[in-house]
Structure 1
Amino acid sequence: MSYLLDWIALAGFLLCWVSYTQYAKYAARRRHSLSSVMHHFRIDWIRRMLERHNRVADMAAVGNLERNSAFFASSSLFAIAGLVTVLAASEQVVALLADITLLQASSRTLLETKIGVLIAIYVYGFLSFTWSMRQYGFLSVMLGAAPMPGETNVEGAAGSNEAFVTHTAKVMDLAAKQFNYGLRAVYFSLAVLGWMVGPLGLLVFSVAIVLVLNRREFHSATLKQLVKARGL
């Protein structure tokens, strides 16, 4: 019976993650969110970049965004390595956790399942962060190829610079989206820690993570200031 509750809790955890991801996509199209507001700022950024000759600061800003992804990608690798080490010593870990009264008494199989879930989450996070890094690399090339003031992106094509602005901002959006996916994986990996307490702990932590993400994405003070700054 206890194993059944664990599997139900795991299904609830996955449902919270997938449902929130879909909800965030849907809601961002219909009201202000951090991602939708930042899209407007990215459009403004690229438009203003095309008006100046010196673009060192723009390349540095993109490099800083890429470093953020690189940091989390490296951290994900360290987390995976640590979890694999724990997995190899699962028998000793079960005995160690048995002495902690607040934690659920777990069999070796159940503990290995929990660790396996964490490893899968961090693998997903690593893949998301590295793809975000690559997209920021593509963005650097696009900025380097951007037309100078007075030039057009495609010779003789009316409005080509505006098309360049739109598509460059879209690439930046896609890179940021992958970073958000990876960061969301890190958040939900914390929910798995609640599983150490028991199935109910996993469900409670999962719901708490969803509430935190929703609060920051759609109702945070930062979002309100960004909306006001952009005049939306």
Structure 2
Amino acid sequence: MSNFIAPGLFILSWFAYGWLVERSPWRNRTLSHYMERERRSWIETMASRDLRMIDTSIMLGLQNGTGFFASTSLLAIGAAFTLLNSTERFLALSDHLPFMMATSASWFELKAIGLLLIYAYAFLKFGWSYRLFNYTSILIGAVPMNNAEATPEERRHAIEKCVGMNLAAAREFTRGQRAFFLAIGYLGWFLGDVLFIASSLVIYTMMAARQFASPARTALMAPPPASAKPQSPEKPD
């Protein structure tokens, strides 16, 4: 039963961290929340201009980045399968490493399957995020131009749909990236329960610091510069 304490804490912490940054009263203080405001500001600005090449370039960058992580997830899944087929070699190696906790073949395979599931979860998140960014591109094209015969209500409805799709894609991407980071902490389980807990704690601390105390968050919280008061022209003597 004690073998399940470390993975149980890992799973519980995963849900707890997700609640903290997505649903808790403190979510409005996170880096992700401030970036959501910037995403909304971007779509609002996009709707006010007729030439949207810069917006299509931004969307292309978002899609390329998401596609890269989705492809990397597939490679990681393949690596996890390779690890699953290397049970005997790993057990033979662990006998010569004093800092590794003794484990059985079935328990090692269970750990490898857990790692495989984490990467599969990440792939599903990145793949769905990529699709949602595609939808966002379509909705950007559907926002009426300034000179279009559309009522203010129709324009507002199109903008809100585009913002909502953009935010949904960003949240899915963030969840996939979170799984990638936590997979690094999960690797500590192959060396022992204590290292598993310690490595996971380091990853959670790092992610929390990025959300609540990072230079990126500070940059987004910076107040706008005070507008300079116009100086009255000097009167000639």
Q: Distance in 2 between matches of 1:194 and 1:88?
A: 19
Show CA shifts across 1:206-227 (max 9, x none): 2222211111012211101112
Q: Distance in 1 between matches of 2:205 and 2:78?
A: 30
What is residue 26 of structure 1 aligned with on the other side?
23
Pick one of 164, 177, 192 that aligns with 2:186: 192
- Size of the aligned set, in residue pairs, is 225
Matched, 1:139 2:136: yes
Show CA shifts across 1:155-191 (max 9, x none): 44x4332332222112111101000100000111111
1:230, distance to aligned residue in structure 2 (A): 6.5
Which stretch has the larger CA shift, 131-140 or 197-206? 197-206
Pick one of 116, 128, 143 that aligns with 2:125: 128
Matched, 1:42 2:39: yes
Residues 161-200 of structure 1 aligned to structure 2 (within 5 Å): 161-200=155-194
What is residue 5 of structure 1 aligned with on the other side?
2
Tell me the TM-score normalized by structure 1.
0.90
Residues 83-122 of structure 1 aligned to structure 2 (within 5 Å): 83-122=80-119
Tell me the TM-score normalized by structure 2.
0.88
Q: CA RMSD in A?
A: 1.8
- The structure whose RCO (Cα within 8 Å, separation 6+) is larger is 1
Show CA shifts across 1:64-113 (max 9, x none): 11111111111111111111122122112211232222222221111111
Give 1:141's aligned amino acid: I
SS at match of 2:217: helix
Do the aligned partners of residues 53 and 136 (structure 1) sit closer, same or farther apart at CA in structure 2, a change above 3 Å counting? same
Matched, 1:15 2:9: no
> Is the Cα contact below 8 Å between 1:132 and 1:176 reproduced in 2?
yes
Do the aligned partners of residues 63 and 197 (structure 1) sit closer, same or farther apart at CA in structure 2, a change above 3 Å counting? same
What is residue 77 of structure 2 aligned with on the other side?
80
Q: Distance in 1 between matches of 2:146 and 2:26?
A: 33
SS at match of 2:156: helix
What is residue 228 of structure 1 aligned with on the other side?
222
1:29, distance to aligned residue in structure 2 (A): 6.2
Q: Distance in 1 between matches of 2:211 and 2:108?
A: 33
Give 1:226's aligned amino acid: L
> Is the Cα contact below 8 Å between 1:126 and 1:182 reproduced in 2?
yes
Higher-Rg member (1/2): 2
Q: Distance in 2 between matches of 1:162 and 1:117?
A: 45
Do the aligned partners of residues 107 and 85 (structure 1) sit closer, same or farther apart at CA in structure 2, a change above 3 Å counting? same
Which stretch has the larger CA shift, 35-44 or 175-184? 35-44
